[in-house]
Amino acid sequence: MSQTPSALLLIATGCQHCPSMLLSMSELIKEGKISQLEVVNIVEAPERAQALNVRSVPWLKVGEYELVGLKSKSEIQQWIDKSADTEDMSAYFEELMVSGEISKVQQLVEDKPQHMKTLLDIMASEESGLSARIGVGAIIEQLAGSEILQNNIDELGVYCQSPVARIRSDACYYLGLSHHKKAEKYIRPLLDDSDDEIKEIAQDALAEISENTE
């Protein structure tokens, strides 16, 4: 049986949507959907908002998920259900990136490097939206040369064999950003790819590695 998550709700005096969120959370705890609920009025305790880098309310944390703005009870329930599977963060990351919270996703990946797999899942999914894929690219560019990216070279190497050109292209580009010689064995076969654009990306990726390992 999955563990029932706890929740933290930040509200503020005069907030238009906070009462609705508070009501929904009160109902969910009565129904046993969450194990405990902490409610903080940031007008009275501004240090909590500062510590969590919260800029607007209502703000809710359920398990690992942080939700900003008004959410219906059914929407909150969906995130509660997802919190039971901490391996699948894709929907959460996509929502954050589409909402412009790319830096938040980057911080989550830096704090827990295993979440890099979630970024690669989004990259490789044909269902991922363009905004989410652009967000993935922006984050990985910030992680260029990092141990986090280098530890995922083999996974990216698998994607270099994808039948989908876009996925091969993205994987090749990210391998170049790893700045690690190990990535070259996955990039070199793409120099003979059937797609001319991927051939160019492979050349650029090898040059990127060469420039950063001399």
Mean confidence (pLDDT) of the chain = 92
Domains of the chain: 1-86 (3.40.30.10)
Average pLDDT of the residues in 7-22: 96
- Mean pLDDT, range 89-94, rounded to an integer: 88
Q: Can you give the chain as a three-state secondary structure string?
A: CCCCCCEEEEECCCCCCHHHHHHHHHHHHHCCCCCCEEEEECCCCHHHHHHCCCCCCCEEEECCEEEECCCCHHHHHHHHHHHCCCCCCHHHHHHHHHCCCHHHHHHHHHHCHHHHHHHHHHHHCCCCCHHHHHHHHHHHHHCCCCHHHHCCHHHHHHHCCCCCHHHHHHHHHHHHHCCCHHHHHHHHHHHHCCCHHHHHHHHHHHHHHHHHHC
Model pLDDT for residues 139-188, shown as the tens digit of each residue = 999 999 999 999 999 999 999 999 999 999 999 999 999 999 999 999 99
Q: What integer pLDDT is reported at residue 65 of this predicted model?
A: 87
For residue 86, pLDDT over 60 is answered with no
Residue 1 has pLDDT above 50, yes or no: no
pLDDT attached to residue 84: 65
Q: What is the largest CA-CA distance in the chain?
A: 63
State residue 163's pLDDT score: 96
Q: What is the pLDDT of residue 161?
A: 96
What is the pLDDT, as a whole number, of residue 40?
Answer: 97
User: What's the confidence (pLDDT) of residue 193?
Assistant: 97
- CA-to-CA dists, residue 207 to 153, 155, 179, 184, 201, angstroms: 17, 21, 10, 10, 10
